[in-house]
Structure 1
Amino acid sequence: MPGGRMPGVLARILVGRGMRSFADGFVALLLPIHLSRLGYGPAEVGLVATATLLGSAALTLGLGFAGHRVPLGRALAGAALLMAATGAGFAGIEAFWPLLLVAFVGTINPSSGDVSVFLPLEHTLIAHLVDDAERTAVFARYSLIGSVGSALGALSIGTLHWFDQAVPEGAATQVLFALYGVLGLATLLLYAGMPDVAPAAEHRRTASLGPSRRRVWGLAALFSVDSFGGGFVVNSLLALWLFQRFGLSAAATGTIFFVTGLCSAVSYLVAVRLARRIGLVNTMVFTHLPANILLILAAFAPTLPVAVVFLVLRSLLSQMDVPARTSYVMAIVEPAERPAAASLTAVPRSLASALSPALAGAMLGAGTFGWPLVCAGALKIAYDLTLLACFRAVKPPEERTPPEASD
Structure 2
Amino acid sequence: MSTPAAVAPAGGADDVGRIITARTLRGAADGFVSVLLAQYLTALGLSPVQVGAIVTGTLLGSAALTLTFGLSAHRVPLRRLLLAASVVMVGTGVGFAAASAFWPLLLVAVVGTLNPSAGDVSVFLPTEQAVVAGEVAAARRSRTFARYNLAGTLAGAAGTLASGGPAALAERTGWSELALQRSGFVAYALVGVAVFVVYRGVRSRASATMGSDQGARRRVLHMSRRTVLELAALFSLDSAGSGFVVTSVLVLWLQLRFELQSTTTAVVFAAAGVLGACSQLLAPRLADRIGLVRTMAFTHMPANVLLVLAAASPSGAVAIVALLLRSLCAQMDVPARQAFVMAVVPAEERAAASSVTNVPRSLASAATPILAGWLLSQSTFGWPLVIAGTTKLAYDVVLLVLYRDVPERPGARRGGAS
TM bucket (normalised to shorter chain) is: over 0.9
Amino acid aligned to 2:123: V
1:166-185 CA-to-partner distances (Å, cap 9, x unmatched) read 74563111111111111111
1:25-72 CA-to-partner distances (Å, cap 9, x unmatched) read 010111111111111121111000000000110111122222101111
1:184 aligns with 2:184: no
| Equivalence for 1:328 | 340
CA contact (8 A) 1:128 1:198 kept: no
1:86-118 CA-to-partner distances (Å, cap 9, x unmatched) read 000010111110110000000111011111100
TM-fit CA distance, 1:163: 4.0
Amino acid aligned to 2:155: G
Superposed, 1:8-407 pairs within 5 Å as 8-164=14-170, 165=173, 167-168=175-176, 170-195=178-203, 196-199=207-210, 201=212, 204=215, 206-397=218-409
**Residue 66 of structure 1: SS of its match in structure 2?**
coil
1:268-321 CA-to-partner distances (Å, cap 9, x unmatched) read 111110000000000000110111011000000111221111111111111110
Amino acid aligned to 1:349: R
Deviates more, 1:243-252 or 1:48-57: 243-252
CA contact (8 A) 1:207 1:337 kept: no
Amino acid aligned to 1:38: L
Query: In structure 2, do the counterparts of structure 1 residues 211 and 3 end up closer, same or farther at CA, with 3 Å as the change threshold?
Result: closer
RMSD: 2.0
Whole-angstrom distance in 2 between the partners of 1:344 and 1:38: 35
Amino acid aligned to 1:52: T
Query: In structure 2, do the counterparts of structure 1 residues 265 and 124 end up closer, same or farther at CA, with 3 Å as the change threshold?
Result: same
Query: In structure 2, do the counterparts of structure 1 residues 162 and 139 end up closer, same or farther at CA, with 3 Å as the change threshold?
Result: same
Amino acid aligned to 2:199: Y
TM-fit CA distance, 1:224: 0.4
Count of aligned residue pairs for this structure pair: 403
Whole-angstrom distance in 1 between the partners of 2:11 and 2:69: 25
Gaps of 5+ in 2: none
CA contact (8 A) 2:75 2:210 kept: no
Amino acid aligned to 2:220: S
TM-score normalised by structure 1 residue count: 0.95
Amino acid aligned to 2:192: G
**Residue 397 of structure 1: SS of its match in structure 2?**
coil
Amino acid aligned to 1:234: V
Whole-angstrom distance in 2 between the partners of 1:399 and 1:25: 38
**Residue 368 of structure 1: SS of its match in structure 2?**
coil
TM-score normalised by structure 2 residue count: 0.93
Query: In structure 2, do the counterparts of structure 1 residues 338 and 203 end up closer, same or farther at CA, with 3 Å as the change threshold?
Result: farther
Query: In structure 2, do the counterparts of structure 1 residues 20 and 82 end up closer, same or farther at CA, with 3 Å as the change threshold?
Result: same
Deviates more, 1:56-65 or 1:323-332: 56-65
Whole-angstrom distance in 2 between the partners of 1:366 and 1:292: 23
CA contact (8 A) 1:64 1:208 kept: no
TM-fit CA distance, 1:4: 3.9
Amino acid aligned to 1:261: G
**Residue 137 of structure 1: SS of its match in structure 2?**
helix
TM-fit CA distance, 1:158: 2.0
CA contact (8 A) 1:260 1:315 kept: yes
TM-fit CA distance, 1:197: 3.6
Whole-angstrom distance in 1 between the partners of 2:241 and 2:111: 23
Whole-angstrom distance in 2 between the partners of 1:184 and 1:398: 35
Whole-angstrom distance in 2 between the partners of 1:310 and 1:103: 31
CA contact (8 A) 1:74 1:194 kept: no
Whole-angstrom distance in 1 between the partners of 2:180 and 2:103: 21
Whole-angstrom distance in 2 between the partners of 1:58 and 1:174: 26
Amino acid aligned to 1:119: L
Deviates more, 1:165-174 or 1:179-188: 165-174
Whole-angstrom distance in 2 between the partners of 1:295 and 1:109: 21
Deviating 4+ runs (over 4 angstroms): 166-169, 198-203, 398-401
Whole-angstrom distance in 2 between the partners of 1:307 and 1:247: 12
**Residue 261 of structure 1: SS of its match in structure 2?**
helix
Between the two proteins, what is the percent identity of the paired residues? 49
